[in-house]
């Protein structure tokens, strides 16, 4: 069953556990939904331009990878895609968020044998400051919050995002636009909500995400077009790069003009982007 809730425009839930008349329009998910209780779910966030979802095949692949690696039942992707297209077709520029939980049920942490998934689809305003970031670049500092290592979840965009919440809180106390985040072994992993591209000696590099971090859709798109080498990167090595960029599906490629006390010329960064990333 597909139900449109009154809580917000462009917000839907797939929920076969309730009858439509039982749904409280002021409450999106049940108090016993496993996404709320345990973060048992995953999501993707995409750019909408001129009525289309940018990089949709890669976002679809991300949802399938999360479903498979987390042991969720097969997704009703055709229905999800239909609803997505219905809600974005009139949008010139917006943000699409698809969030999926394992639904209700189970005993404690133990998931139900036959979960009935909850899926929400929301269209949100585009963060306008990303355009300024793309043009002028950003200043970053080193986050004091370090990521743990968990290969079973590495690369996935799960609902367990408390590390990122703490990272954002820490960033508010620093003089910067964003932060560079390392793991507990002091290896560079990502920005607060973006992947990292480093250019050094005419070669593109990105951090190894086999133990921590999220593999972004935009990074995957870049890897399909460019030779980007995966390696362990130390923070001092990042500062010694010829150029550094952060990227995700919404901001796309953003140049970094300062990493703590190391400054990069914005004109040089735009030239590097043009030469090596075709942007």
In 3D, which of 244, 261, 140, 146 has the Cα closest to residue 200? 244
Cα–Cα distance list, 110 to 1, 22, 40, 73 (Å) = 25, 26, 11, 15
Q: Is 157 a catalytic residue?
A: yes
C-alpha–C-alpha distance, residues 79 and 14, integer Å: 10
Beta bridge partners of 42: 100, 158
Which one is catalytic: 44, 104, 182, 190?
Answer: 190
Which one is catalytic: 91, 146, 157, 273?
Answer: 157
Which one is catalytic: 44, 45, 182, 206?
Answer: 45
Q: Which residue's structure tokens are 């750019």?
A: 47
Residues whose CB is less than 8 angstroms from the CB of residue 177 and which lie 6 or more positions away in sequence, other chains included = 133, 138, 139, 140
The full DSSP string for 197-257 is EEEETTEEEEE--SSSSB--HHHHHHHTTS-EEEE--BHHHHHTSSEEEEEETTTEEEEEE
The full DSSP string for 123-173 is EE---THHHHHHHH-EEEEE-S--B---TTTTB--BS--HHHHHHHHHHTT
Q: Is 239 a catalytic residue?
A: no
CA angle (114, 61, 133) in 5-degree steps:
125
Q: Hey, which residues are catalytic here?
A: 45, 157, 190
């Amino acid at each position: 069953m597909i139900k449109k809730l009154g809580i917000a425009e462009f917000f839907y839930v797939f929920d076969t556990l309730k009858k439509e008349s039982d749904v409280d329009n002021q409450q999106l998910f049940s108090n016993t939904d496993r996404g709320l209780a345990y973060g048992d779910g995953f999501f993707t966030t995409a750019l909408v331009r001129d009525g289309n979802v940018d990089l949709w095949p890669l976002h679809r692949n991300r949802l399938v990878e999360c479903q498979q690696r987390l042991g969720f039942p097969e997704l009703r992707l055709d229905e999800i895609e239909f609803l997505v297209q219905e809600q974005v077709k009139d949008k010139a520029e917006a943000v699409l968020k698809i969030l999926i939980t394992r639904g209700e049920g189970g005993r404690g942490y133990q998931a139900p044998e036959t979960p009935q998934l909850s899926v929400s689809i929301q269209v949100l305003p585009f963060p306008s400051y990303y355009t300024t970031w793309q043009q002028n670049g950003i200043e970053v500092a080193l986050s004091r919050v370090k990521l743990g290592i968990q290969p079973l979840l590495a690369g996935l965009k799960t609902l367990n995002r408390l590390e990122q919440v703490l990272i954002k809180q820490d960033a508010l106390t620093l003089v910067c636009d964003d932060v560079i985040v390392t793991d507990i072994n002091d290896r560079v992993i990502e920005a607060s909500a973006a992947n990292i591209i480093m250019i050094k000696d005419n070669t593109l590099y990105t951090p190894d995400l086999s133990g921590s971090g999220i593999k972004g859709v935009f990074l995957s798109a870049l890897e399909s077009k460019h030779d980007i080498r995966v390696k362990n990167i130390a923070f001092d090595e990042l500062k010694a790069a010829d150029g550094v960029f952060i990227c995700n599906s919404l901001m796309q490629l953003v140049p970094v003009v300062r990493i703590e006390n190391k400054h990069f010329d914005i004109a040089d960064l735009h030239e590097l982007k043009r030469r090596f990333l075709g942007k």
